């Protein structure tokens, strides 16, 4: 029990690993790697977030194969240089504070070979460095996007091994937790959704068939990790489109994931098609997380427009989710965990190097704590 009544600041144990609090930095692509290799940007970005004391920092979508990158700027765990830089990044983050370090491993499928968002975010042309993409079926992401190659038996096997190899490399690099990216319209989601999976073989059609490849990946990743290493998954619990993947299907999928050794789920939504109508209001995915938690009994993480400490506290305190992940709120305020600690009356998770910010060590300093106390 932490020294506070705040639910957000209670530790959580996942497969024997203690996570110091329930605040998670959501995975956020930085599109700033070179040939899959993390650069200086990543060290300052993740370093500053780890210094702010969240329970978990999830390193962005990290490709298991070169063609699985979303953009040319994605990190990858498929080359020696990529693995070396990633290992150094994990070592750096673990030396900074107590945050548990996770990595999200994934494959972009038909959403790969894209421009960085600030270059337009559309499909990259071959002359600009684009590459051929693959997917469950030869159905493009949106108008103007290339038609992906339908994955054959060779690729099914290759990709299963690529996911397992990436998980093993991440483990050797020292990450505490591995998360499989099964959300946002990337490859595993492309198999799950009937809108992108039109296959007529054992990998398409019924939900059982559409789950077959993602579950094969999950099993391979679980086997590649030591027994005591937590494994998470991120899913899009709905496509927000008629005829798409549904919360009921997500629950069936997650129940099998759980029985295969997945320890928690991060509940997101959308991303499969470009024109879905997503109701982006505060906490708009929390109800989906709560339902999944109720119906699967899995440890659950809520995400999406959670920005206020009291809002995050309420999600955990009410049992809607076991953790909350924040993305943009952490970009806006990398010390969000300190802000939450002040608001919720929990001890601020300072790294020792920053302890002199405390009011008793900085009399007269206008700190978050002293300003809050004076109000
Ligand atoms: C810059 C940026 C990059 C993102 N990259 C990823 C990613 O790599 N993997 C992922 O699953 N979601 C990614 N997301 C989605 C976030 O993890 C999160 O689910 C989303 O931003 C909603 O949470 P928020 O309202 O707290 O930002 C990204 C979001 C942003 C803003």
Please report the atom of ligand 1 found closest to the CA of residue 104: 9
Please report the atom of ligand 1 found closest to the CA of residue 330: 26
pTM metric for this prediction: 0.97
pLDDT in tens, 28-38: 999 999 999 99
Detail the DSSP E strand segments found in the chain: 12-14, 17-19, 23-25, 56-63, 75-76, 100-106, 134-135, 149-150, 177-182, 231-236, 264-268, 299-303, 323-326
Domains identified in the chain, total number: 1
Please report the atom of ligand 1 found closest to the CA of residue 268: 19
pLDDT in tens, 278-325: 999 999 999 999 999 999 999 999 999 999 999 999 999 999 999 999
* Residue 1 falls inside a structural domain: no
Q: How far is the CA of 221 from the centre of ligand 1 (A)?
A: 23
Tell me the helix, strand and coil percentages in the chain, rounded to 5: 40, 15, 45
Q: How far is the CA of 28 from the centre of ligand 1 (A)?
A: 5
With residue 295 as reference, give the H or E element that holds it: helix 286-296
Please indicate whether residue 350 is annotated as part of the active site.
Answer: no
* Residue 328 falls inside a structural domain: yes
Nearest CA among 342, 317, 313 for reference residue 326: 313
Q: How far is the CA of 371 from the centre of ligand 1 (A)?
A: 31
Rounded-to-integer distance, Cα 75 and Cα 82, Å: 7
What is the residue-averaged pLDDT of the chain? 96
* Residue 361 falls inside a structural domain: no
Rounded-to-integer distance, Cα 298 and Cα 322, Å: 9
* Residue 371 falls inside a structural domain: no
Query: Residue 2: pLDDT above 90?
Result: no
CATH code for the domain of 308: 3.20.20.70
The first and second tokens of residue 264, run together, are 């928690």
Q: Taking CA 232 as the corner, what is the angle to CA 52 and CA 172, rounded to the nearest 5 degrees?
A: 75
Closest C-alpha to ligand 1, atom 13? 28
pLDDT in tens, 218-247: 999 999 999 999 999 999 999 999 999 999
* Residue 180 falls inside a structural domain: yes
Closest C-alpha to ligand 1, atom 11? 27
Q: Helix, strand or coil for residue 311?
A: helix
pLDDT in tens, 8-33: 999 999 999 999 999 999 999 999 99
pLDDT in tens, 337-373: 999 999 999 998 889 999 999 888 998 898 888 888 8
The first and second tokens of residue 63, run together, are 């490709």
Ligand 1, pocket-test mutation among 23, 26, 32, 280, most atoms within 8 A of CB = 26
* Residue 362 falls inside a structural domain: no
Range(s) of the domain holding residue 141: 12-350
Which residues lie across from 105 on neighbouring strands? 62, 180
* Residue 335 falls inside a structural domain: yes
Please report the atom of ligand 1 found closest to the CA of residue 234: 11
Ligand 1, pocket-test mutation among 25, 28, 74, 189, most atoms within 8 A of CB = 28
Query: Residue 374: pLDDT above 90?
Result: no
Closest C-alpha to ligand 1, atom 18? 327
From the candidates 78, 186, 253, 264, give the one annotated as an active-site residue. 186
* Helix-helix angle 286-296:247-259, to 10 degrees: 50
Q: How far is the CA of 295 from the centre of ligand 1 (A)?
A: 25
* Residue 372 falls inside a structural domain: no
For 2, half-sphere exposure in the C-beta direction (CA atoms, 13 angstrom radius) is 23
Closest C-alpha to ligand 1, atom 23? 304
């Amino acid at each position: 029990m932490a020294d506070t009544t705040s639910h957000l600041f209670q530790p959580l144990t996942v497969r024997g690993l203690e996570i110091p609090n329930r605040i998670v930095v959501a995975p956020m692509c930085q599109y700033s790697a070179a040939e899959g290799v993390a650069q200086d940007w990543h060290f300052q970005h993740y370093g500053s977030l780890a210094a702010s004391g969240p329970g978990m920092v999830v390193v962005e979508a990290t490709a298991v194969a070169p063609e699985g990158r979303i953009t040319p700027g994605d990190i990858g765990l498929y080359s020696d240089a990529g693995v070396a830089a990633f290992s150094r990044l994990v070592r750096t983050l673990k030396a900074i504070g107590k945050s548990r370090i996770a990595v999200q491993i994934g494959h972009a499928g038909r959403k790969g070979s894209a421009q960085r968002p600030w270059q337009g975010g559309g499909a990259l042309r071959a002359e600009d460095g684009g590459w051929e993409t693959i997917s469950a079926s030869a159905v493009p992401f949106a108008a103007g996007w290339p038609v992906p190659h339908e994955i054959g038996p060779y690729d099914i096997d290759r990709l299963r091994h690529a996911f397992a190899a990436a998980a093993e490399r991440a483990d050797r690099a020292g990450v505490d937790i591995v998360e499989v990216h099964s959300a946002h319209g990337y490859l595993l989601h492309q198999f799950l959704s009937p809108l992108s999976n039109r296959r007529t073989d054992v990998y398409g059609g019924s939900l059982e068939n559409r789950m077959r490849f993602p579950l094969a990946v999950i099993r391979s990743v679980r086997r590649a990790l030591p027994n005591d290493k937590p494994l998470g998954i991120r899913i899009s619990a709905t496509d927000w489109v008629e005829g798409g993947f549904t919360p009921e299907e997500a629950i069936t999928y997650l129940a099998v994931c759980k029985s295969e050794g997945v320890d928690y789920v991060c509940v997101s939504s959308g991303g499969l098609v470009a024109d879905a109508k997503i109701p982006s209001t505060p906490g708009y995915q929390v109800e989906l997380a709560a339902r999944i938690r109720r119906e699967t009994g899995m440890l659950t993480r809520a995400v999406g427009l959670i920005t206020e400490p009291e809002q995050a506290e309420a999600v955990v305190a009410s049992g809607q989710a076991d953790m909350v992940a924040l993305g943009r709120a952490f970009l806006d305020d990398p010390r969000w965990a300190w802000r939450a600690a002040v608001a919720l009356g929990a001890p601020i998770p300072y790294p020792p190097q920053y302890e002199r910010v405390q009011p008793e060590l900085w009399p007269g300093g206008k700190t978050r704590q002293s300003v809050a106390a004076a109000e």
